[in-house]
Amino acid sequence: MFIVMIATECAPAAKVGGLGDVVSGLARELAIRGHAVEVILPKYDCLRYDRIHGLTKCYSDLWVPYYDQWIHCDVYFGFVDGARCFFIDSHSHHNFFNRGRFYCDHDGERFTFFCRAALEFMLKANKHPEVIHCHDWQTGLAPVLLYEIYQRLGMTHPRVCYTLHNVAHQGRQGEQILRQGGLNPGALMKPDRLLDDRYPGCANLMKGGVVYSNFVTTVSPTYGQEIRNTHLGMGLQRILNVHHQKFGGVINGIDYNVWNPEMDPHIARRYSLGTLRDKYANKQALRERLWLRDGFKPLVAFVGRLDYQKGVNLIFDAVPYCLDHGCQFVLLGSSPHGHVNEAFWRLKLRFNDHPDCHLEIGYHEELAHLIYAGADLLLVPSEYEPCGLAQLIGLKYGTVPVVRNTGGLADTVFDADYAHKPYHERNGYVFNDYNWTGLESALRRAIGLWYCYPNYFSELMANGMRYDWSWNHSGRDYVNIYNYIKAH
């Protein structure tokens, strides 16, 4: 099968969070299964060019409609982690992809242009994929453009799969964005099309993706239920229920070529289930690297975006709690919100001289690997979590996750004390209520087990490592979905 993904991230060249991992991981899995996969991305100025191999200009005469003008683009080709990627480079004073960041202001305009450019490129380059797979609101307009414009121009073949990675961001825009894309707002600004259900007069690009795609997935079964039936749908509940027959949850995998303690080049000592003791060398290496003292203490870590969704208030309170309860704490993260970053900077200054605490405010791919390998416990106290990759990585590295019972966390982490499963299938700690009492109840149990029952703790680590959260199962699910939409 020939599959084209249109996306705004692909790790490691373009990664802000899990979306980047998912696009490259799924692309690799599909290729392993014998499918031809290509990824179309913007050619951002902030790409990690050192992680793109063989980048060359492959198409230089692409003209993309923009209102009543045409914008000239070049297209580059290169390999990202083995995936065949095309990068759209636009030449206009708008500087769509040269903003020094992957996401910023006026993203609606930039990514509407990107969707149009991606389809125009496929048309002009004579690409006839059987499936186009789009991701999140930024590419929600691609299926709309396909069925409203490009089908009539000859692209009758492709079917579209659309994945919702996080419905907190739906791409609500003024209706002029449709005009920019060459679409007719008069026809599309209707409740069963792109008209937002909550904000009168707004076009909702994610809703457009849901309505026009042949199949819609989200990144875990529990999150799928939550966004259909609870406030977590953030206004999409109605349209997801209308289209429930073409909607399902497929849990994300992680790429075990990238996230695997047996072959990770970024960690101090490689280890596996059989050599779990070697994990300790990574704890020591992490302590040395971050100037933490040696000692008989569990190391608690958080790695992730410091977004409200991730439970920043709870993480904030967890730092002094862990230090007061005989733990070390390491945090790696940065926030899209300036004042959250500032608050964590203040916390960092407060504990600057503390021998058991290190807060690293920023983004650091390689350090993240060493933290996953060196830590004993991994905090993921999210208010909501569509899938969450951090806990899957933690499990693979024998780092016991402490998570809230929501979304993909609920589907992948099973409480050591309360899960309805035998002990050998339990792999972490889970709490229900999104407040400090909730998190404290789980953290206290986890720290207690580490100190008082080390054998049970080691068992829990091993249980987590035995789970297979690679793309193996989810890749098969996506192929089944692609085959289904091809046949209908």
Contacts with ligand ADP by CB under 6 A lie at: 17-19, 21, 303-305, 332-334, 363-365, 368, 387-390
Nearer to ligand ADP, 317 or 365 (CB): 365
Which two structure tokens, joined as six digits, stand for 145?
A: 């453009």
Helix intervals (H) in 231-337: 237-242, 279-289, 312-324
Q: Least Å distance between CB 362 and ligand ADP? A: 6
Q: Which amino acid is at 390?
A: A
Cα end-to-end distance, the chain, whole Å: 16
Nearer to ligand ADP, 16 or 55 (CB): 16
Q: Least Å distance between CB 328 and ligand ADP? A: 19
Q: Which of 248, 243, 254, 253 is nearest to 222 (CA)?
A: 248
Q: Least Å distance between CB 413 and ligand ADP? A: 13
Nearer to ligand ADP, 37 or 251 (CB): 251
Q: Least Å distance between CB 47 and ligand ADP? A: 16
Nearer to ligand ADP, 412 or 463 (CB): 412
Q: Least Å distance between CB 369 and ligand ADP? A: 8
Cβ partners under 8 Å of residue 231, min gap 6: none
Nearer to ligand ADP, 297 or 396 (CB): 396
Q: Least Å distance between CB 165 and ligand ADP? A: 7
Nearer to ligand ADP, 25 or 158 (CB): 25
Nearer to ligand ADP, 75 or 332 (CB): 332
Q: Least Å distance between CB 291 and ligand ADP? A: 19
Strand partners, 41: 87
**C-alpha distances out from residue 331 to 365, 375, 449, Å:** 13, 11, 22
Nearer to ligand ADP, 21 or 81 (CB): 21
Q: Which amino acid is at 457?
A: F
Question: Using CA atoms, how far apart are residues 457 and 454, in angstroms rounded to an integer?
Answer: 5
C-beta atoms surrounding 274 within 10 Å: 9
Q: Least Å distance between CB 284 and ligand ADP? A: 21
Specify whether the CB–CB gap between 391 and 383 falls below 8 A. Answer: no
Q: Least Å distance between CB 331 and ligand ADP? A: 9
Cβ partners under 8 Å of residue 205, min gap 6: 108, 112, 137, 138, 140, 141, 170, 171, 172, 173, 177, 194
Helices first, then strands: H and E counts in the chain? 17, 17
The SS3 assignment for 374 reads: helix
Cβ partners under 8 Å of residue 106, min gap 6: none
C-beta atoms surrounding 31 within 10 Å: 17
Q: Least Å distance between CB 46 and ligand ADP? A: 15
Cβ partners under 8 Å of residue 132, min gap 6: 3, 4, 5, 6, 142, 143, 146, 158, 159, 160, 161
Nearer to ligand ADP, 268 or 332 (CB): 332
Which two structure tokens, joined as six digits, stand for 395?
A: 């499990």
Nearer to ligand ADP, 72 or 473 (CB): 473
